[in-house]
Structure 1
Amino acid sequence: MSGPKVVRIVTAEELLALREAMLHRLDQAVARWQAQCERIGERDASAVAAVMARRQALQALVADSDNTRYARLIEAEIAFLQADTRDREARAVDRAAAGRQQQRRQRDNAAAVLKTLQDRPVDAEAGLLQALRALADGHPGADAEAVLARAFALLSPPEEQATLSEDQRALATALQTSAPTPTLADWVAGQPADPGREARLLRVDRYIAELQVLQGPAVAAPYLEALHHAEQETAPQRRNLLLDSLVLELAAASAAFAQRRVQLERLQDVASRLAALDPVDHAPLLAQVGACSTDTALPLLTALAQQCDTALASHQQALAAVSRRQAVLDGLASLGYEVREGMATAWQDSGAVVLKKAATPGYGVEVGGQADGVRLQVRAVALAADRDRSRDRDIETLWCGEFGRLQALLHGQGTELVVERALGVGEVPLKEAIATATPSGQVQVSHARSGPA
C-alpha cells in the first residue's frame, strides 16, 4: 500500500524516557524500603547490598534495553521490595504483639499473686508489695519476672529442713512423695482461665501492635484507652461485647491505613517524576503533596494523584511531540527533502507541513496531524495544479520506497514508525498543495484538494 498513510511514531527519546521513569519509580520504592526497614528495626546490611546491586544492574540496562522486558524487570523488583517490606513489618508486629501478651500475663499474674498474699497472713516487705502493685496496674519494670518470683516464694511452704537433724532430714527425704514442688509456672497454669477473653485479647494485641509499629504510639493511644475500659468491665458478657467492638474498630482502622498508604506511595511516585521534569510551574501542587502523609484523607490523596497524573502527562506529551516532529523531519532531511529552520514550529502551529525535494520538482511530501498525539498522516502531494498528471502514480510509488527507507532509518535510531492504515497507489487522487513561499523560505499551503486519507 503506497498511498496516503496513517502512522504511529514512538521516538527513541520517548522510549528512553519511559525506561528512566521506570527506574525513577524503582528508586522511590528502594528509598521507602530502606526507610521502613530502618524505622521498624529490620535493617539488614546484606539485603541492602543485594538490592543496590540489582538496582545498579537495572540502571545499566536503561540505555539499550527493550521496554517491555525492562518493565517486567522493574515491576518484579518493586513487587519484591513491597513483599519484603510487608514480611519485615509482620515480624516487627509479631515481636510487638508478643511483648504486649507477655506484659498482660505478668500483669494478670501479679494481680493474682497480690490477691493471694493479701488473703494470707504473709509478712512481705513494703518494696516488694509496691513493685507487685505497679506490675498489676500495668507498669512493668525491667525486673518483672524477678518480682513475681520473689512474691511467689512467699506463698511456698516454709523451709523446715534447717531445724532438723541430719538423720531427720534423711528420713524426711526417704518418706517424701513423688509429687514435685509447685513452681511459679505451675501456679500460673492453675489459675482460672477465660478462653473467650484470651482469644479476643490476642486479636486486639495484634492490631494494636500493628498500629504502634506502622503508625506510631499516638495513633494507638485511643484504642489502648478503649482496651483498658473494656478490661475494667467485670461482667464477662459485657466485657466480651466491648472487646468484639474494639476488634471491629481496629480492623477498620488497619484496612483504611493500608488503602491510604498504597495511594500515598502512588502519589509520591508520580509527584517525584513531575518534580524532576518541571518543579517550578507545579510548585504549589508539589508543596501540597509534600505535606501529605498516611494520615491524609484518602479522597485528597486520590485527587492530588489525579492532578499530578494530568500535569505529568501534559508535560510528557509536549516533550514527546517535539521529539516526534524532529525525528520525522531529520529523517526526511536525510532522504534529500528540504528541511528549513522553523519548519517544526510551522508544523506545530498549522498541524501540517510540506517538504520539497530537488530531485522531484513540482512534488513534495506532506506530514500532518497534531504531533502531540502518536499518530501522524504522511502522503505525497503535488505542488502545482498545472502539471503532468501522468507522473502522479510514479511519484506515489517513489514515495513508497522512500517511506520504507525512512522507517528503516528511524528504526536504526531506536524510533518506531508503524503503519496503521494505508491506501493503495492511485486509490485516491494525489492531493494538491498549492503553495507559496514565505519570507523564511517555508512552503505554506494555501489551498489543498484531495480524496480521503
Structure 2
Amino acid sequence: MSSSVHRISVREMNEIQCRRQLAVTRKMFQQWQKMANTTQYHRPRIEQIFTLFQQLSANDISTISARQLTTLKNELTQFSATLKQEIQTVREQQLEQRALAARTNAHRQHNLEALAALVREKLPAEKQLITELESRDVKGVGSLIFRALTALDNVQSQLSPFANQLLEQLKAQSEDVPQFWQYGAPLSPYAKQCEQILLMIEKLKLVGYLNEALSAQQQLAEIQSMNENPQRHLRADSLILILAKQLKESQQHTELVEKVEQLCAELAIFSDDENAKIIDEALASIHSSSVTGLMSLAEQLEAKINLAEQAFVAEAQRRTVLDGLGKLGYQIQETDVRAWMDNGKVVVRHPATPGYGLELGGKQARFQTRTVALSSQRDTQRDKDVDAIWCSQHQQLQEFVAQSDAELVVERALPAGSNEMKVYDLEDAGQQRNTATNQQPRTLRK
C-alpha cells in the first residue's frame, strides 16, 4: 500500500486514566476520613472502607495489563461514588444533629432562665440554688433541675398553669428527651415557621455563613415584631426560601472545594513546574472563592488535565509506533517523537530502500503513513516496489506494537502504486529531524 490511515490504542491511555481515578479516590478517601473522624461513625464501616481502599490502592499500576487497568479503573470509580454518597449523607445528618443540638441548648438556657426567675419569686431563701440556675451551666443540668423541682414541690399549689407547664417541660428535659418545645405547648403554624428559621440559621453558622446568619436573625426579629396577619406568614415563608437557597449554596461550595482538591490531585500526576504553580495557586484560593469562582477554577483545571493527558497519550502512541518501526530496521532517532509531536509529521528511512522514506503524520490517535521519495531525480519504476515493501512490513509492525500491550488497526489503505509518490526533499527531511527542541517531554508521576 502507498498510503494508509491507522488507529492506535496504547496501554498508556488506560494507565493515565487509571492513575487519574486513583488520585481522585485517594483525595476522596482523605475527605471521607476527615468527616468520619468528626462524627459518631460506625466502627465496622470504617474498617470495611479502609480495607477496601487499601486493596484497591495496593495495585502496581505500572506493571498490570491494559485490560486489568480498565477493570481497576472501574472498581475505583465505583468505590469513589460510594465514598461521595456517604460523605454527602453523613455530612447532612451531622449538620442536622448539630443544628438541632444548638436549638435544644437555646431552649434549655431559656427554660433555666425562666426557672431561675420562678425560684427567685417563690423561694427567695434558696440563694445557692438561684446562683447555680443563673449560671446556666449545661453540665449537671439534670440534677440541677431535679433540685429546683423538689424545692418547688412545696409551693406547687401556688404556681400558675403557665409555671406548671414549664416545670413539666423541664422534667421531661431532665430525662434526656433530645428535642422539646418551649413550655410543651403545641406549636402554632407561625411558631413552627420561626423554629424552622432558627434551625436554618444555626446551620448557616455551622457552615461558616456568618453574615447570612446575622442578616436572617435581623429579618426574623422584624417579622416577630409584626402583628399577627397574613403578611407576617408570607415574610416568614420568604425568609425560609432564602435560607434554603443559601444552605444549598453552602453545600455546593463545599462540594466544589472538594472537587477542586481532587482535580489538583489529578493534575499533580503530570510532573511539570507550571502545573505545580497552578496547583499551589488553586489550593491557596479555594476557601475564599465564591461558587462561581470555584466552578470557573474547576473548568480551567479540567481543561489543563485533559490537555496534559492528550499530550502524554499522543507521545506514547508515537513512541510505540516508532519503536516498532525501529525493530523493523528503520533508522529512528531520539528526536523523532518530539519532531512528530511538534510538527505533526516526521519522515523515517530504512537502509534497504535508499532514496525513500516513510512519512508519518497526524496529531491524534489516528495517523497516516505513506511512502515518499527523497529526491525527484530517481528511477520512478522503483516507487511501486517500495510501496510493496511497506505493505509487507505492516503486519510485522502490528505484531511488534501488540508486544507493547497496544493495538494498531488499519482503517483504510490505498494499494501499492495507486498514487503518484510524493517527493519529500531531502533537505526538508533533515529539518524535520532537527526541529526537536531541548524541552523535556512531560513525565508521569508514579
Is this contact kept in 2: 1:152–1:184, CA < 8 A? no
**How many angstroms does 1:423 deviate by?**
3.6
User: Residue in 1 aligned with 2:350?
Assistant: 357
Instruction: Write the deviation string for residues 69-119 of structure 1: whole angstroms up to 9, x where unpaired.
Output: 33322221111111111222233234323423433443454466567667x
Where does structure 1 lack aligned partners over 5 or more consecutive residues?
161-181, 445-453
User: Match of 1:126, as an amino acid?
Assistant: K
The counterpart of 2:145, out of the listed 148, 153, 169, is 148
- What are the residue-to-residue correspondences of 1:16-415 with 2, within 5 Å? 16-38=15-37, 40-42=38-40, 46-59=44-57, 60=59, 62=61, 63-66=64-67, 67-107=69-109, 109-110=111-112, 113=115, 122-123=123-124, 125-132=126-133, 141-156=138-153, 184-185=168-169, 192-204=185-197, 206-213=199-206, 215-216=207-208, 222=214, 225-226=217-218, 229=221, 233=225, 235-237=227-229, 243-278=236-271, 280-282=273-275, 284-348=277-341, 350-369=343-362, 371=363, 373-385=364-376, 389=380, 392-415=383-406
Where does structure 2 lack aligned partners over 5 or more consecutive residues?
158-165, 173-180, 436-446
**How many angstroms does 1:228 deviate by?**
7.6
User: Match of 1:229, as an amino acid?
Assistant: A
Is this contact kept in 2: 1:230–1:243, CA < 8 A? no
Is this contact kept in 2: 1:93–1:206, CA < 8 A? no
1:47 and 1:239 map into 2 onto residues whose CA distance is 47
2:326 and 2:351 map into 1 onto residues whose CA distance is 12
Cα distance change, pair 382–30 in 1 and its aligned pair in 2 (3 A)? same
- What is the DSSP-based 3-state SS (H/G/I as helix, E as strand, rest coil) of the residue aligned with 1:89? helix
**How many angstroms does 1:410 deviate by?**
1.3
**How many angstroms does 1:413 deviate by?**
0.6
TM-score by length of structure 2 reads 0.75
Is this contact kept in 1: 2:65–2:405, CA < 8 A? no
Select the structure that is richer in helix. Answer: 2
User: Match of 1:184, as an amino acid?
Assistant: E
User: Residue in 2 aligned with 1:435?
Assistant: 426
Give the length in aligned residue pairs.
413
Cα distance change, pair 305–240 in 1 and its aligned pair in 2 (3 A)? same
Is this contact kept in 2: 1:230–1:239, CA < 8 A? no
**How many angstroms does 1:362 deviate by?**
4.5
Is this contact kept in 2: 1:106–1:145, CA < 8 A? no
User: Residue in 1 aligned with 2:3?
Assistant: 4
**How many angstroms does 1:187 deviate by?**
8.4
Instruction: Write the deviation string for residues 53-84 of structure 1: whole angstroms up to 9, x where unpaired.
Output: 32333231623353543332222111111111
TM-score by length of structure 1 reads 0.74
Is this contact kept in 2: 1:100–1:205, CA < 8 A? no
2:220 and 2:346 map into 1 onto residues whose CA distance is 77
Over the residues paired in the alignment, what is the CA RMSD in angstroms?
Answer: 4.0
**How many angstroms does 1:13 deviate by?**
3.1
Cα distance change, pair 274–127 in 1 and its aligned pair in 2 (3 A)? same
Instruction: Write the deviation string for residues 139-187 of structure 1: whole angstroms up to 9, x where unpaired.
Output: x522333343333445435699xxxxxxxxxxxxxxxxxxxxx982598
User: Residue in 2 aligned with 1:164?
Assistant: none
User: Residue in 2 aligned with 1:450?
Assistant: none
| Worse overlay, 420-429 or 267-276 | 420-429
2:30 and 2:184 map into 1 onto residues whose CA distance is 50
- What is the DSSP-based 3-state SS (H/G/I as helix, E as strand, rest coil) of the residue aligned with 2:351? coil
User: Residue in 2 aligned with 1:449?
Assistant: none
**How many angstroms does 1:234 deviate by?**
7.7
Identity rate, percent: 24
| Worse overlay, 304-313 or 401-410 | 304-313
1:33 and 1:219 map into 2 onto residues whose CA distance is 28
